[in-house]
């Protein structure tokens, strides 16, 4: 068992996601997690059910962590949706009803008798990946994840950037407009990179391919064998050489490369880390496309200046970033 030093500071961390809720106790110094728990988000039951479940899950994390209560300095919240500029309220959730203008930190503070800070999950993940994944070395850093949706955040001049509170919504940079591929997005707009390259967008394209493609192709057989028509089966078929599946994946990831090149052009980033289940599980397909496309999208003097890597934190970015909210 990892030894605890009485001088160490710990934070209770809660991650509100659209498909999962996660809790743990994090040691700020090195990002070690204790008592990690994960449960499915009861999204259809609304905000109150999600809050009740995560509070009980966090209580379990506290118990399983064996961290003495006097060593826990507060709680950090990562929330999957926009939050107010001061972090005191959830603005809304695009996936779960009932979170509008919700004073979540105050309720968590009242429950656990701890000071609480909250941030949007993309911004929080950027903080966690920058500090624990990149050892706080880059002055200008971006984290972006391809998961069910696409989100991320920035560290600029060594500080998290949020604009007026709703900045850094990287998943909603536009890569399509005024054509058949400018799909509507969950945000209410259309043509966003999330509506082209995210897990739900790839699942939409997978369903269309299954319905209209040849019943003799690799993708159709993969769906029948697995009983699943999703982003994952699309990537598996692309990897196995299905030309239609590969064409969809290449188009989605090329659009993703375009969005990254726009960020590099605007902000001259030192490092970009990419996380999320879709990216992690398709890195062998994604990385070569990024290496091929991004230089062609950039002006000559910007090529090769930005390090692009896969996240090193194995999905714990948001929890670790939530811990650092108490330390900035």
Looking at the domain assignment, is residue 266 inside a domain? yes
Same domain, 120 and 144: no
Number of domains the chain is built from: 2
- pLDDT tens-place values along the chain, 328 residues long: 456 665 689 999 999 998 899 999 999 999 999 999 999 999 999 999 999 999 999 999 999 999 999 999 999 999 998 999 899 999 999 889 999 999 999 999 999 999 999 999 999 999 999 999 999 999 999 999 999 899 999 999 999 998 887 788 899 999 988 776 789 998 889 999 999 999 999 999 999 999 998 888 999 999 999 999 999 999 999 999 999 999 999 999 999 999 999 999 999 999 999 999 999 999 999 999 999 999 999 999 999 999 999 998 989 999 999 999 998 7
CA distance 108 to 90: 13
3-class DSSP string for 203-261: HHHHHHHHHHCCCCCHHHHHHHHHCCCCHHHHHHHHHCCCHHHHHHHHHHHHHHHHHHH
140 and 203 housed in the same domain: yes
Answer yes or no: are the C-beta atoms of 67 and 34 closer than 8 Å: yes
| Residue 42 sits in the same domain as residue 177 | no
Helices (H) and strands (E) in the chain — how many of each?
Answer: 11, 10
As a whole number of angstroms, the distance between CA 176 and CA 265 comes to 18
Q: Which pLDDT belongs to residue 167?
A: 83
Is residue 233 assigned to a domain?
Answer: yes
Query: Which residue, chain included where needed, has tokens 């204790």?
Result: 34
pTM given for the model: 0.92
Residues making up the chain, counted from first to last: 328
pLDDT given at position 1: 43
Cα separation, 76 vs 121, in Å, equals 11
Same domain? For 200 and 263 the reply is yes
Query: What are the backbone dihedrals phi and psi of residue 216, each rounded to the nearest 5 degrees, phi first?
Result: -100, -5
User: What radius of gyration, in Å, describes the C-alpha atoms of the chain?
Assistant: 20
| 281 and 205 in a common domain | yes
- Helix 243-267 and helix 283-297, axial crossing angle in degrees, nearest 10: 50
Do residues 73 and 193 share a domain?
no
Q: Which structural domain, as residue segments, surrounds residue 110?
A: 10-129+316-327
269: left (phi over 0), alpha (psi -120 to 50) or beta: beta
148 and 287 fall within a common domain? yes
Residue 133, both tokens: 């994944």
Looking at the domain assignment, is residue 4 inside a domain?
no
In a domain, 202, yes or no: yes
Q: Is 53 a domain residue?
A: yes
Residue 82 lies in a domain: yes
Q: Is residue 2 in some structural domain?
A: no
CB 142 within 8 A of CB 136: no
The DSSP secondary structure of 10-77, one letter per residue, reads EEEEEEE-SSEEEEEEEETTT--EEEEEEEE--GGG-HHHHHHHHHHHHHHHHHHH---GGGEEEEEE
Same domain, 98 and 22: yes
In a shared domain, residues 246 and 98:
no
**Predicted local distance difference test score (pLDDT) of residue 213:** 85
**Pair 47, 161 in one domain:** no
Which residue(s) pair with 246 in the sheet?
A: none
For the chain, the 3-state helix, strand and coil shares in percent, each to the nearest 5, are 45, 20, 35
Residues 224 and 151 in one domain: yes
Task: Tell me, yes or no, whether 81 and 162 share the same domain.
Answer: no
Instruction: Kindly give, in sequence order, each residue whose CB lies less than 8 Å from that of residue 261, ignoring residues fewer than 6 positions away.
Output: 293, 294, 297, 298
- Which CATH number do you get for residue 304? 3.30.420.40
| Confidence at residue 179, expressed as pLDDT on a 0 to 100 scale | 74
């Amino acid at each position: 068992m990892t030894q605890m030093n009485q001088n160490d500071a710990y934070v209770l961390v809660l991650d509100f996601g659209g498909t999962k809720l996660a809790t743990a106790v994090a040691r700020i110094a090195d990002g070690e997690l204790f008592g990690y728990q994960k449960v499915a988000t009861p999204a259809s039951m609304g905000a109150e059910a999600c809050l009740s479940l995560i509070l009980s899950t966090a209580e379990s994390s506290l118990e399983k962590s064996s961290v003495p209560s006097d060593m826990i300095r507060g709680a950090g919240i990562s929330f999957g949706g926009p939050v107010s500029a001061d972090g005191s309220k959830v603005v809304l959730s695009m996936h779960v009803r009932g979170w509008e203008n919700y004073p979540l930190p105050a309720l968590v503070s009242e429950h656990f008798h701890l000071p609480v800070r909250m941030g949007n999950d993309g911004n929080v993940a950027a903080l966690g990946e920058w500090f624990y994944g990149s050892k706080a070395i880059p002055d200008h850093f971006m984290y972006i994840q391809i998961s069910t949706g696409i989100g991320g955040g920035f560290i600029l001049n060594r500080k998290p950037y949020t604009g007026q509170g709703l900045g850094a919504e990287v998943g909603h940079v536009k890569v399509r407009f005024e054509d058949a591929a400018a799909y509507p997005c969950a945000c209410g707009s259309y043509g966003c990179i999330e509506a082209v390259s995210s897990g739900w967008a790839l699942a939409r394209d997978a369903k269309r391919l299954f319905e209209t493609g040849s019943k003799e192709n690799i993708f159709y057989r993969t769906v029948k064998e697995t009983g699943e028509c999703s982003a994952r089966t699309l990537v598996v078929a692309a990897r196995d050489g299905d030309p239609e599946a590969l064409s969809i994946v290449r188009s989605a990831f090329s659009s993703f490369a375009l969005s990254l090149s726009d960020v590099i052009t605007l902000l001259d980033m030192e490092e970009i880390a990419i996380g999320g289940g879709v990216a992690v599980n398709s890195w062998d397909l994604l990385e070569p496309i990024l290496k091929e496309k991004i230089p062609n999208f950039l002006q000559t003097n910007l090529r090769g200046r930005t390090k692009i890597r896969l996240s090193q934190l194995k999905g714990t970015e948001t929890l670790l970033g939530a811990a650092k909210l108490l330390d900035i």
